[in-house]
Amino acid sequence: MTGPDSSKPAGQGAAPASSQSSQTPPTPPTQPIDGKYQVLREVSRTGNVTLYEVRAAEGVTRQVAWFEVQTPAERQNFHAYRTALRSVAPAGLTDVVARPGAYYAVWQPVSGTPLAEAAAQPTKRQEMVEAVEALGTRLADAGFALSDADIVMQGDMPLVAYLRPAAPRTPEEIAALNAGVLGGLRGGKVRRKRERRPGAWLTFVPGLFFLSGAGWLGAQAAQIYLNPPVGEVSSVTSQPAAEAARALTKKGFRVEYAYGESGTLPIGIVIRQEPEAGTSLPVGRQVILTVNKPAPLVVPKVEDMTLAQAAGPLGDNALKLGKVIRVDGTLTRTPEGRIIAQIPPAGASTQRSQPVQVLVSTGVRSEETFIIDLRGLTFEQARDWARAAGLVVTEVTREPSDKTENTVLSQEPAPFATVPVGSPVKLVVASVKYTPPSVPTEPLPIPPPYVPPPPPEPITAPDQTQPPGTQPPATQPSGSQPAGTQPTPAAPGGSATDTAPQPDTAAPPATPAPPAVDTTPRQVNLRYTFGTELPGGTYSITVQDASGEREIMPGVPAAQVAGRLAQAPIQVQGNAVFIIRRDGAEYARVPAQ
């Protein structure tokens, strides 16, 4: 059995497999040729023609001569080649396709003895030589030589298993090539035709009757073969491929599929047919149906995108957004509105206009947080701090204490412990500590009314310049006294008008009172975010108002508060400011909001 890759001796024309040898085998295409023939290997390559060994849809092995047609000249050469094939009618040819983007011929193996082996025999029949000469004449009329064909002999009949494309030649060049092939065939002994003697035909009279009957039957068969019944090709476009093939085979036609692409028809629908509907075609001829089967597409990756962002790559790949399923994104830590997963996955093969389903996150619910030290705060303040941290106060226990009533004594979880958002908080709050007396007590005695002490009497020093027993003369008129003096009683033997100077006891002027300080109670908000690159140390928060300064967050290591937000409502009196301290030294001031 011989095909296009059969070996041939010099002068006969080497087969494509031996005409182009290469140390590195060429890489065959990964996609089927014209969607119908799966490439097994590349046999040869000459000019713009590549010969492939392929597997057809029915599982048989064929060879395809593929033409790369890029220019008008290359297209004209292919049509000339196709015309030659039709005139020669090679036995190995099964199909010739000529349409934009697909120019090729399909060949099948042909059984028989290669012409080179028949020419090497010492004795050749004259009938065989004459048949090869006639084939050479037909090839020359088509512009080809015997060396361009792979020829096998079935008895004395030469058959063309493969015809290689060739450049245009002159008749003289073709004659010279044919002479080389026929010279080797005529070499050696040629057995001539046997000559009939007169009257010898009478010995064949009985057989002539059988031959005439066989000839009549053969003529009838040839009549049917050459003039088969003609049928009209039905219109099967826009129908499913199986239904279209069934309708055509019922009329006696053979159906072969080709694959194309249409953006308006579903997959598996017939796009066009050859020949067209309404054509009169002999029964048994082939009708080619081009079925919509686009090349597979690769699904793009849309994970971690929003739905609006995913519409772009899906549209660019002729795909559409399918069902959207919203799921919790806690386990995957996917933010709200982002795509967690997709079906089919990224990189998978799919067809045009197919949907892509996505899973979209509803958000991360179990983020971690921490709570500050609530001890010493009022219950209301502790509850606000818990809410700000995303926690919930679920249990409050009251315990008698010497602390101020409603003050938080202890908490669970512990201060600055890392817990999931939404975790419960338990508080122990101080209540009034009261012990009733065991014995009734008597009422306390009422203190006596306040009696101010009497003013002290002035003491007057005697005048050393007067004799004893005498008084200094009055220096003021009777009935008057200097400012700042008080009348004194008369000395023994003196008059009541005698007076003595007294020290000035008037009160000093009053000092002006300081301006009033605003001590109105009010509630302000603390909101401060610690930096992510916080210097090492211990950080605390205090509030300074009209009542003084008090600590609302005790010292915490920098690693526990770096990058975190501290916020809470605080009760203050008058103007207030929050002071952030690092290792006791002031680090920042935050105005109250």
Q: Transcribe 382-431 into DSSP letters.
A: HHHHHHHTT-EEEEEEEEEESSPTTBEEEEESPTT-EEETT-EEEEEEEE
Span of 27-31, 304-308, 363-367, 537-541 with lowest mean pLDDT: 27-31
Q: How confident is the model at residue 352 (pLDDT cuts 50, 70, 90)?
A: confident
pLDDT for residue 470 is more than 60? no
Per-residue pLDDT tens digits for 390-424: 788 889 999 999 889 999 999 999 999 888 877 89
Q: Is 118 exposed, middle or buried (0-12, 13-18, 19+ CB in 10 A)?
A: buried
pLDDT for residue 133 is more than 90? no
pLDDT for residue 215 is more than 80? no
Question: Rounded to whole angstroms, how far apart are CA atoms 555 and 582?
Answer: 8
Question: Rounded to whole angstroms, how far apart are CA atoms 407 and 399?
Answer: 10
Residue 89 sits at the vertex; the CA angle it makes with 187 and 229, to the nearest 5 degrees, is: 140
Most confidently modeled of 49-58, 343-352, 377-386? 377-386
Average pLDDT over residues 283-300: 87
pLDDT the model gives residue 410: 94
Contact 40, 48 (CB under 8 A): no
% of residues, the chain, pLDDT over 70: 74
Residue type, position 140, single letter:
A
Question: Rounded to whole angstroms, how far apart are CA atoms 564 and 260?
Answer: 62
Nearest alpha-carbon partner for 107 in 153, 152, 48, 171? 152
Question: Rounded to whole angstroms, how far apart are CA atoms 81 and 373?
Answer: 94
pLDDT the model gives residue 426: 94
pLDDT the model gives residue 438: 56
pLDDT for residue 505 is more than 70? no
Span of 155-169, 189-203, 417-431 with lowest mean pLDDT: 189-203
φ and ψ at residue 106, rounded to 5 degrees: -110, 130
pLDDT the model gives residue 204: 57
pLDDT the model gives residue 496: 40
Mean pLDDT of the chain: 78
Residue type, position 589, single letter:
R
In this structure, what DSSP letter does residue 142 have? Answer: T
Nearest alpha-carbon partner for 174 in 133, 135, 145? 145
Nearest alpha-carbon partner for 143 in 164, 162, 171? 171
Tally of CB atoms within 10 A around 377: 23
Q: How confident is the model at residue 428 (pLDDT cuts 50, 70, 90)?
A: very high
What the block records as the tokens of 491 is: 């000395």
Residue bearing tokens 């239904």: 243
Higher pLDDT, 87 or 81: 81
Span of 119-128, 156-165, 238-247, 382-391 with lowest mean pLDDT: 119-128
pLDDT for residue 511 is more than 70? no
Which regions of 230-345 does DSSP assign to beta strands (E)? Answer: 230-232, 254-260, 270-274, 280-282, 286-292, 297-298, 320-327, 339-343
Residue 51 sits at the vertex; the CA angle it makes with 45 and 56, to the nearest 5 degrees, is: 155
List C-alpha distances in Å: 348 to 116, 208, 310, 343, 560: 53, 72, 16, 9, 46
pLDDT for residue 469 is more than 70? no
Q: pTM for the complete prediction? A: 0.33
Higher pLDDT, 301 or 2: 301
Average pLDDT over residues 117-122: 81
Residues 6+ apart with CB under 8 A from 238: 265, 269, 270
Contact 404, 430 (CB under 8 A): yes
Phi-psi region of 219 (alpha: psi -120 to 50; beta: other; left: phi over 0): alpha
pLDDT for residue 91 is more than 80? yes
pLDDT the model gives residue 529: 87
Span of 93-102, 195-204, 258-267 with lowest mean pLDDT: 195-204
Question: Rounded to whole angstroms, how far apart are CA atoms 359 and 327?
Answer: 7
Average pLDDT over residues 286-300: 87
Q: How confident is the model at residue 476 (pLDDT cuts 50, 70, 90)?
A: very low
pLDDT the model gives residue 478: 45
pLDDT the model gives residue 209: 65
Which regions of 168-229 does DSSP assign to beta strands (E)? Answer: 189-191
Residue type, position 277, single letter:
A
Stretch (H or E) spanning 175: helix 171-186
pLDDT the model gives residue 191: 61
pLDDT for residue 81 is more than 50? yes
What the block records as the tokens of 428 is: 């122990």
pLDDT the model gives residue 9: 34
Higher pLDDT, 73 or 14: 73
pLDDT the model gives residue 381: 93
Question: Rounded to whole angstroms, how far apart are CA atoms 329 and 365?
Answer: 8
Q: How confident is the model at residue 334 (pLDDT cuts 50, 70, 90)?
A: confident
Per-residue pLDDT tens digits for 225-235: 556 678 888 89
pLDDT for residue 370 is more than 90? no
Stretch (H or E) spanning 125: strand 123-125
Nearest alpha-carbon partner for 30 in 295, 256, 257? 295
Question: Rounded to whole angstroms, how far apart are CA atoms 571 and 380?
Answer: 10
Span of 87-101, 174-188, 322-336, 520-534 with lowest mean pLDDT: 174-188
pLDDT the model gives residue 102: 86
User: Is the bond preceding residue 413 a cis peptide, omega within 30 degrees?
Assistant: yes
Nearest alpha-carbon partner for 357 in 343, 337, 341, 339? 343
% of residues, the chain, pLDDT over 90: 16
Residue 571 β-bridge partners: 523
